[in-house]
Chain A
């Protein structure tokens, strides 16, 4: 009873992790992407349709990741090249994703109808990939010249530029990565975790991932911890009988991950956290870089 619950929670966590790592790298380069929900919706819906019509999971995942990548590039083009306010661009991508996928997916509403993907020791192999990617991301950010340059671009882009770093290229790269990860996370959601297309079925996971990145204070390892926490919470909200039987309606239980998201944002904003980790915020986050 408990073991499947934990395994399932880990599978939810891997989706938060992929989406969150993309957003984390994105933000470390100085570009905020509040439209990750839209990228996930796109990745999920396109991945779902492609897999269903081609009968190939691989095609579905590739399509989901590819559409995410394109949206990432679009966000980069808007916010880096055109210098549109990053929040406006992100909001645009979210509404774009929400609107268009509602229309695209509607004829495909219902279950995927494919044999379920194989598991490895009871969980999706992608869980292990998520763990590995977390460590790799940490290593790249902290121990390589690429990571150093990326962090510098997010802190003080003008300084990075005079040090010989092409901030624009780096931010494009990071934003494309963010989109790729968001699209892939969406595809994973739709092709494995919850393979039933439904109206707006990403259910705010993109926004929760965004909150997890703030919570992580831009540290991939902490992000993974937060993802596991939310995986557990999400599963618990679907199975309240594990904790309490018959108390409150199942609908009220489902509000808990969303309330927890808000609580976590409050907690990390209180003085105690601000003093300790406040300096971690990329100083140029949200600001377009304009070459002198």
Chain B
């Protein structure tokens, strides 16, 4: 594009500072929200009113904020589940299926103890809760490990596999909780049996202890990827599998490793969602809507550029949008799925912004070109430069 005697062009960035990345991500979210206003305009609702409704409910009403925090824990864990494989260059879009499996496993523990038939089950929560959590994490990990194993062993596309596992997982949940499935609520209704009161997760100020998972994992993942040798190996593999292999990194186990870790965290998210959030305590009838909310993890991870700490505010924002959106839906007479639509629009805007992580706008005088790529051109440039 020409402007006067200058040409606007894009120049490849060699490095991007954390500050610049933060700025681009923030701007992309703001632009996304602005673009999304169109949805409100089309529905004859003032965008300002709508956003005030959404974020007002989410952050200013105590009941809304509690829901937001619970949703935040779920989304943050799903984000972690996404971003560990992402740092290894692999796409885990199967948090949904891993969440299903984690939820089934957690309730499987209760089922084995007889919790389905006896809502007043008297067992030691100190023993059973860790077992439920471990079972959820293990089930999520193993479910995800299918994709990791297939990737390592036969280089099978992990995107398709994790997506297929979502559908398989979804039908397994239906099988277990509907039409006379073993986990079906005795009172009828196509949903899972309720968690015995004694096994409800400890709650502090309406926030379940699962918030600790988020806090601990955020710090742990941050250290993993910035300081540890293992995190270095995962990142090296993610950027260049061939260079990683050359360096002696165990590349033939990398898919398994990152999917086990990611899946385990998705299992924790499942435990939180189905067995720790006050007021839920079961696998609900519309578990699919909850499960698909896990897709928010993808966009949080991408906006945060794979940085666990940076993903926290993003997850909070999406939790607010998700909870506030559901509330605004009813109040403003908008259709179901406002939060999913917001997720979609923000995602596509974010993709457009990806460009700016690698290029920046530059103004140059017309007619001046950069030397062509290639070793000789570079050598040429240097040779001439030193002479001058």
| Residue contact B178 to A251, C-beta cutoff 8 Å | yes
Residues of chain B within 8 A (CB-CB) of A37 are 163
| Residue contact B354 to A88, C-beta cutoff 8 Å | yes
**Distance between B174 CB and nearest chain A CB, rounded to angstroms:** 4
Other-chain contact of A103, B171, B337, B351, B352 (Cβ < 8 Å): B337
- Secondary structure of the A contact surface, majority rule: helix
| Residue contact A82 to B337, C-beta cutoff 8 Å | no
Closest to A207 in B: B163
Q: Which of B285-329 contact A (CB under 8 A)?
A: 288-289, 292, 295, 298-299, 302
Other-chain contact of A99, B154, B337, B350 (Cβ < 8 Å): B337
- Secondary structure of the B contact surface, majority rule: helix
Interface flags, B141-168, vs A, CB<8A=1, else 0:
0000010001000111101110111111
Residues of chain B having any CB pair with chain A under 8 Å: 39, 91, 93, 146, 150, 154-157, 159-161, 163-168, 171-172, 174-175, 178-179, 181, 288-289, 292, 295, 298-299, 302, 335-338, 340-345, 347-348, 350-352, 354-355, 358-359, 372-374
Residues of chain A within 8 A (CB-CB) of B302 are 88
Residues of chain B within 8 A (CB-CB) of A199 are 288-289, 337
| Residue contact B354 to A96, C-beta cutoff 8 Å | no
Contact of A203 with B by CB under 8 A = yes
Residues of chain B within 8 A (CB-CB) of A195 are none
Residues of chain B within 8 A (CB-CB) of A95 are 295, 298-299, 343-344, 347-348
**Distance between A61 CB and nearest chain B CB, rounded to angstroms:** 23
Interface size class of A (residues with CB under 8 A): 35 or more
11 contacts between A and B (CB under 8 A): A78-B355, A82-B355, A88-B351, A88-B354, A100-B341, A106-B336, A207-B159, A258-B165, A262-B165, A265-B150, A265-B156
Closest to B151 in A: A269
Closest to A259 in B: B168
| Residue contact B161 to A265, C-beta cutoff 8 Å | yes
**Distance between B110 CB and nearest chain A CB, rounded to angstroms:** 21
**Distance between A170 CB and nearest chain B CB, rounded to angstroms:** 22
Closest to A108 in B: B335
Other-chain contact of B348, A93, A104, A203, A255 (Cβ < 8 Å): A93
**In the complex with contacts A83-B355, A88-B351, A262-B161, A100-B345 CB distance below 8 A:** yes
Contact of A175 with B by CB under 8 A = no
